[in-house]
Amino acid sequence: MSFVPAFTDELLAHLQQDDRQRVLKSIIVASAPELWLSLESAALLDIQRDKFGLGGQLDERTEYRLHSELPARSNVPRWLIAAERRKVDIWVEDSYAEKPSTAIEFKVVHNNKNAFHKIWEIRKDLLKPIPRSAPKERIERWGIVLLTYSRFYRDQQGGFTYGKFDSCEDFLHAFKQGLNDNDEWYDGAPELELVKGPERVIDLEGAHYIEPEKNAGVYLALVKCKA
The single-letter DSSP state of residue 121 is H
Q: Cα(109)–Cα(186) distance, rounded to whole angstroms?
A: 16
Nearest to 118 by CA among 148, 156, 85: 148
In this prediction the pTM is 0.92
Q: Above 80 in pLDDT, residue 171?
A: yes
Contact 139, 133 (CB under 8 A): yes
More confident residue, 64 or 100: 100
Q: Which of 83, 127, 90 is nearest to 105 (CA)?
A: 90
**Peptide bond between residue 190 and the one before it cis (omega within 30 degrees of 0):** no
Whole-angstrom distance, CA of residue 109 vs CA of residue 105: 13
User: Tens digits of per-residue pLDDT, 94-153?
Assistant: 999 999 999 999 999 998 888 999 999 999 999 998 988 887 789 999 999 999 998 877
pLDDT class of 157 with cuts at 50, 70, 90: low
Helix and strand numbers (H, E) in the chain are 5, 6
